[in-house]
Structure 1
Amino acid sequence: MNRKGYFYKTMAEQNQYDLPTKHALKDVIHNLLREETNMRRPGMLLGKIQSGKTRTFIGALALAFDNGYDIGVVFTKGTKALARQTTQRLEEEYRTFIERDELQVFDIMNVPENLVPYELKQKLVFVVKKEKHNIERLNKVLFERYPSLAEKRALLIDDEADFASVGFEKTERETYDLRTISGALDDLRSRLSRSSFLQVTATPYSLYLQPENYHFKESEKMFKPVRPGFTTLVPVPDEYVGGEFYFEESEQEGSLASFVYESIDPEELLIMKKEDRRRFKLEQALTSQKISSMRRAILQFIVGGLMRRIQERTEGRSLPKYSFIIHTEMKKSTHEWQEQIARSVVEQLTMGLEESPQLVREEIQLAYESLRQSLRAEHCSDDIPSFQSVLYEVSYALQDGQILVAKVNSEGQIEELLNEKGELKLRTPLTIFIGGQLLDRGITISNLIGFYYGRNPRKVQQDTVLQHSRMYGFRARKDLAVTRFYTTREIYETMKRIHEFDRSLQDAFESGGHDGGVVFLQADTNGKIVPCSPNKIMLSKTTTLKPWKRMLPLGFQTGYKTHIQKSVKAIDRLLQGREKEPFLLDIELAKKIIQYIGETLTFNEGYEWDKEAFLSTMQYLSSQSEEHKGKVWIIPRMNRDIARFDEQGRFISAPDTPTGEVGQARTLAVDTPALILLRENGRKEKGWMDAAFYWPVLITPSTTPSTIYTSGMDTGKG
């Protein structure tokens, strides 16, 4: 392989590729040259959501041009906006070659009808939407208009490639479209003289974990599983912010990440769905508690964005523009209603500066205090703007019309909103985007510091939900300090479950274990835990296991003392005389303790404890122990006095101490699970019901393989 060719060398110098990126680019092309790749066995470029996959495949294509390839075909998702963004990105990256007449980039629908030999000798890149008319045009260009191109070596790149995600069915229409497009691509590849096939994705699960065969309902044809011929990982820089930040670091009390998530009342999402004056009136946008989260979200976006602009101005840097997304529904009528609400909030804040200055000041101060706490968590105390300076900037921004509310729910609108880089244009210092599917199709939205999300992940594919996560990507730490993510607790917990699922599979891929590094299990009708095919896993009932994972109930209150003391005393008797030191307990008695605990807890809206999953997980892990089969380590802790809420008014999520019982549990849990039992006093002044109770924390063994487990029953659906 030529590693020092003109195209690659120019791109490497221009983009200053770091060593991991150089290794990834060379690995891709080395494998494409060595392996025969096709639709059934593609090469795979695997990266995280918004982690630089496009930059990587553009670099890989440049290296391919130095190694015998003359044509690149980049297949994008089926929107004009994304095709335009991809085309503009390629033109930007390859500008040096384009200006020297060494390479040309075309949207396939705009290829000239009179390309001359001078142009046909150049390297050519075609951007093609994955839809019928684009692929028909590509066939016409390659095999009819310019048949000499079909004799050249081509690299086909399928961007955002997926068949379907584990645990979900495609709709009848999606299945039909998928079959049509896959067949067209396969036919195209077979007609080319020499071609290689590279798929680029952050959600590759179906490609690795499909069942051995699959029958379409409306056809006798069997779907042949796609299994990658090789996998190259996109390097992830330190600046990348993904699910680890939003769903793992956030559990560390006082951390920057712990301030990001804010809960939405599910009733508010119903109000945001359509106009109903019996529930909410637009003229009350500044005062109604019915949209308190939306109002807080908009205010914190305005205040946070302006705080960052003040900081940048103080440092003598250019002032960035910031964005905020509202994404709850697909319907255009909903977007129109949400646009009215958002504009009403902004307009009434502006009018309130004169009509209700004290009310507006108080609202701004609440947002300021929240953001100041997270800035402090990021150790930014020295340059936090004063409240007076922020109040002035907010007042000026409102009166000066610096806040734009933009609805994005049609191809025409989004094309008008794209800048020269193919990103959503930020025309004002602060822009609020409202939309649906078009906002989750890979369109880049820069400087995103607010995300109000209401799509219910249980109704869509896992890969789609991950693509919705627009807050993933490269983020400056100071921007993260003013970033907020708003959704219901139920949706947040489901997205967290998706992240855990994603993380387990990513870990297996990175360690080379995707051929058998993840165990898929299911509870059968008799309660036994048995291996199962990944397409039987239903995400809504999924528990992801890994070494030393903590499992515990959250977001609860206890029952009254008279109602729960019988269950608490039953646990006391089981532990009597063994309250001070860890000990091994038979799994059946451990399960009885959990059953008793379940009788003492009631959960707030949006929170639930899947007790059955907790029990069956504990039983499964105990059954896998070689040293203490059928046993569980019990680590009792008495006379605890934890508060129900933390300083931010959120439910405590870490009743156990990392250096205390958790450390001890990790020492003991080698191949046997450990159950920490915290006997809390439950005092009223701490937010409880003046009733003692037990708080269980299950620690999985250090030898636990990556495991996806479901307590849901097999429905026969994927």
Structure 2
Amino acid sequence: MKEKIAFRTLDEIKKMFEEQQNSKFKTQNYHNDHIFNFFKDLKSDENIEFNFENIKRSLTLDSFKDNKKTILLIGEVQSGKTRNMLKMLDYVLNEKDYHDVFWICGTNNNLLSQSIKRLRDEENLDLHSYEIGYLEYLKSKETPVTLKREIELRDKVLAVSLKNKLQLENLNRGITFADTLCSERNLLIIDDECDFMSLSKDNNSNEIKANHKLLMSLLNNKVYKKTAYVGVTATPYGNFNYERSKDLFPEEVVLLNRSKTEYTGLNWFNERSKDIYINLNTEKTDENQYTIDVAIINHAHAIYKNPKKFSEMLINIDLDILNHDIYSSKVNKSLRNWIRLYENNFQTFKIELNKCLKILNHPTKDIDTEVFYKIIKEIKKDEIFILNGDNSQNDKFQSGRQNAIIIGGVMVSRGYTFENLKTEIMINAPKAENKVNIGVLLQRARWFGYRRESEKYMRIILNSKIIKSYHEAEIVQSELFSFFGQTGVFKRPHEITEHLEVISRKLNYLEVK
């Protein structure tokens, strides 16, 4: 008999959306009554153990219907997914079922390096053990031969790969070279950010289509005894689209538990949106200089109020690489304008400073204007970083090392953690005639995470449509989570696909696919 699923009928969904519209997207009651029911109130280490037991059961070889299995892990944005992956790596490298692990973690070198650092810092993993062959940065033409040799010599092999055509081809060639050496071995593929650069559709770039084909080739290999594919993401909506996933469509889905009391994600910020979300113009490039001016004040305010803690400000411009230099110039212009205003007219500086603080919902009483000016004056050019695929600053920036202003698009919107983020501006939000993809929307929220201690300093500058979109996303996310109950595992993902299609027809701001 099928287990009872706690999701709503179409009529109930319609009623819920009407209530949301009438209350101007006040989601606090919905959040308290519904969202928290999906998560157990566990401590950090207990969460990892709870999730691991679900993952381990899904990976058990006896659970395979044939020689391959696809599993999807869903964890919220910046909720600790990497810790769960490291726990999984520790398990498979120390037990007998799996022999080789391909960890595909990142579409750029910054993300790959971040994952490799976490891997090297993991105390339980001895990458120098003779029994484990370890490969990383798989871009050499010798990689396939090296992989074959490691498979031949070692009980276990861990290969950490960038998600691009060259390195995925090297993995495919390597196991083809190994051939009969793998006939009694089992392979685990871990695809981090599996909804990005892994799925395919007709209008995708050739690079994405190639990645998708190569990932399916790894899954459908003819050399390993059994192969498991584990996709990991916070935004799995594309993964539930069979036309995009094809062979990667999940057989089982695991919702990763996270701390109720510590994690600050979509629901937590929606509850505090009146204070933290600042509604300003973030669209027309030639009209939003004042938005940058306000953001600079919030960045300086965080330094002013907490000088012992670094502050990071992020200008997220989505895909528009050409505008990155423009916004770098805007930041420098804003800094010059604030400095010049103080030096030429102290009273006007004070008036404008107080205006910005009020817009940002910060108190203006007892502000030492001179100290504030000095903080702005000390923001240097070497604290401003442009992070994108064409820029040499990618290797220079490391989060948590200094006060910083970061400008970027895709590179700062996927997987990258900004430890001391206090200010974010989202540029190029959807226009009135378009809807925003829910996955893109949630991934760009780099302010999600564990931010309770930063609440009084953190301000996110958005336009009104995006603020409403985040409230709408809370409903969609809650409906997705409702499939998992308290077990955290669901084995009929096609039902999720059907339910998301019903929900998507009622959305005003979001597309779910």
Same fold at TM > 0.5: yes
Q: How far did 1:448 drift?
A: 0.8
Q: How far did 1:128 drift?
A: 2.0
Q: How far did 1:239 drift?
A: 1.9
Equivalent of residue 439 in structure 2, options 463, 480, 492? 463
- Say yes or no: does 1:199 pair with 2:231: yes
Q: Is the 8 A contact 2:251 2:491 kept in 1?
A: no
3-state SS of 2:454 partner: helix
3-state SS of 2:285 partner: helix
AA of the residue aligned to 1:109? K
- Say yes or no: does 1:409 pair with 2:391: no
Q: How far did 1:354 drift?
A: 1.9
Q: Which moved more, 1:405-414 or 1:154-163?
A: 405-414
Once the two structures are superposed, residues 335-357 of structure 1 have per-residue CA deviations (whole angstroms, 9 ceiling, x without a partner) of 21111111111122223332222
- Say yes or no: does 1:181 pair with 2:211: yes
- Aligned-residue CA RMSD in angstroms? 3.9
- Say yes or no: does 1:320 pair with 2:326: no
Match of 2:402 in 1: 428
Change (3 A) 1:245 1:465: same
Q: Is the 8 A contact 2:277 2:460 kept in 1?
A: yes
Gap runs ≥5 in structure 2: 1-42
Q: Is the 8 A contact 2:216 2:248 kept in 1?
A: no
Match of 1:57 in 2: 85
AA of the residue aligned to 2:416? I
Q: Is the 8 A contact 2:187 2:228 kept in 1?
A: yes
Equivalent of residue 280 in structure 2, options 264, 267, 278? 264
Match of 2:32 in 1: none
Following the alignment from structure 2 to structure 1, what is the Cα–Cα distance between the partners of residues 125 and 214?
33
Q: How far did 1:42 drift?
A: 1.2
TM-score by length of 2: 0.77
Change (3 A) 1:20 1:387: same
Change (3 A) 1:132 1:399: closer
Following the alignment from structure 2 to structure 1, what is the Cα–Cα distance between the partners of residues 70 and 454?
38
AA of the residue aligned to 1:261? Y
Q: Is the 8 A contact 2:103 2:191 kept in 1?
A: yes
Q: Which moved more, 1:228-237 or 1:334-343?
A: 228-237
Following the alignment from structure 2 to structure 1, what is the Cα–Cα distance between the partners of residues 218 and 496?
37
3-state SS of 1:144 partner: helix
Following the alignment from structure 1 to structure 2, what is the Cα–Cα distance between the partners of residues 138 and 118?
12
- Say yes or no: does 1:393 pair with 2:371: yes
Match of 2:425 in 1: 452
Match of 1:595 in 2: none
Following the alignment from structure 2 to structure 1, what is the Cα–Cα distance between the partners of residues 365 and 180?
64
Match of 2:49 in 1: 22
Q: Is the 8 A contact 1:52 1:234 kept in 2?
A: no
3-state SS of 1:42 partner: strand
Change (3 A) 1:147 1:439: farther
3-state SS of 2:301 partner: helix
Once the two structures are superposed, residues 94-118 of structure 1 have per-residue CA deviations (whole angstroms, 9 ceiling, x without a partner) of 5861355564352222576668779
AA of the residue aligned to 1:454? I
AA of the residue aligned to 1:173? N
Aligned ranges 1:35-54 → 2 under 5 Å: 35-36=63-64, 41-54=69-82
AA of the residue aligned to 2:372? V
Match of 1:651 in 2: none
Following the alignment from structure 1 to structure 2, what is the Cα–Cα distance between the partners of residues 414 and 169?
30
Match of 1:238 in 2: 261
Aligned length: 457
3-state SS of 1:240 partner: coil
Q: Is the 8 A contact 1:51 1:473 kept in 2?
A: yes
AA of the residue aligned to 2:335? V
Q: How far did 1:127 drift?
A: 1.8
Q: Is the 8 A contact 1:39 1:186 kept in 2?
A: no
Q: How far did 1:196 drift?
A: 1.9
AA of the residue aligned to 1:29? K
Match of 2:189 in 1: 156
Equivalent of residue 462 in structure 2, options 476, 480, 487? 487
Aligned ranges 1:544-559 → 2 under 5 Å: none
Aligned ranges 1:1-150 → 2 under 5 Å: 18-33=45-60, 34-36=62-64, 41-68=69-96, 69-93=98-122, 97-98=126-127, 103=132, 104-109=134-139, 120-121=153-154, 123-144=156-177, 148=181
Change (3 A) 1:337 1:147: farther
3-state SS of 1:196 partner: strand
Following the alignment from structure 2 to structure 1, what is the Cα–Cα distance between the partners of residues 195 and 409?
20
Match of 1:305 in 2: 303
AA of the residue aligned to 2:59? L
Change (3 A) 1:90 1:83: same
Q: Is the 8 A contact 2:278 2:462 kept in 1?
A: yes
Q: Is the 8 A contact 2:263 2:449 kept in 1?
A: yes
Q: Is the 8 A contact 1:39 1:197 kept in 2?
A: no
AA of the residue aligned to 2:269? Y
Q: How far did 1:331 drift?
A: 2.6
Match of 2:30 in 1: none
3-state SS of 2:191 partner: strand
Match of 2:40 in 1: none
Once the two structures are superposed, residues 209-259 of structure 1 have per-residue CA deviations (whole angstroms, 9 ceiling, x without a partner) of x46xx4x9xxxxx94682323525243352211111222x13xxxxxx531
Once the two structures are superposed, residues 447-472 of structure 1 have per-residue CA deviations (whole angstroms, 9 ceiling, x without a partner) of 11111113334455321221111111
Once the two structures are superposed, residues 142-165 of structure 1 have per-residue CA deviations (whole angstroms, 9 ceiling, x without a partner) of 332797467533211111223899
Q: How far did 1:91 drift?
A: 1.8
Change (3 A) 1:463 1:519: closer
Q: Is the 8 A contact 1:105 1:125 kept in 2?
A: yes
Q: Is the 8 A contact 1:371 1:481 kept in 2?
A: no
Change (3 A) 1:537 1:415: same
Q: How far did 1:486 drift?
A: 0.8
Change (3 A) 1:40 1:489: farther
Change (3 A) 1:45 1:114: closer
Change (3 A) 1:342 1:400: closer
Q: Is the 8 A contact 1:243 1:472 kept in 2?
A: yes
Q: How far did 1:299 drift?
A: 0.7
AA of the residue aligned to 1:490? K
3-state SS of 1:509 partner: coil
Q: Is the 8 A contact 2:188 2:228 kept in 1?
A: yes
Following the alignment from structure 1 to structure 2, what is the Cα–Cα distance between the partners of residues 198 and 164?
15
Change (3 A) 1:58 1:296: same
Q: Is the 8 A contact 1:326 1:453 kept in 2?
A: yes
Change (3 A) 1:463 1:271: closer
Match of 2:410 in 1: 437
Change (3 A) 1:353 1:406: same
Bigger Rg, structure 1 or 2:
1
Q: Is the 8 A contact 1:329 1:335 kept in 2?
A: no
Change (3 A) 1:119 1:170: closer
Q: Is the 8 A contact 1:335 1:434 kept in 2?
A: yes
Gap runs ≥5 in structure 1: 1-15, 217-221, 251-256, 273-279, 281-289, 310-318, 375-383, 419-423, 521-531, 544-609, 611-709
- Say yes or no: does 1:352 pair with 2:341: yes
AA of the residue aligned to 1:415? N
Q: Is the 8 A contact 2:429 2:463 kept in 1?
A: no
Change (3 A) 1:65 1:387: same
Q: How far did 1:132 drift?
A: 1.8
Q: Is the 8 A contact 2:320 2:409 kept in 1?
A: yes
Change (3 A) 1:415 1:105: farther
Match of 1:707 in 2: none
Q: Is the 8 A contact 2:300 2:376 kept in 1?
A: no
Q: Is the 8 A contact 1:402 1:428 kept in 2?
A: no
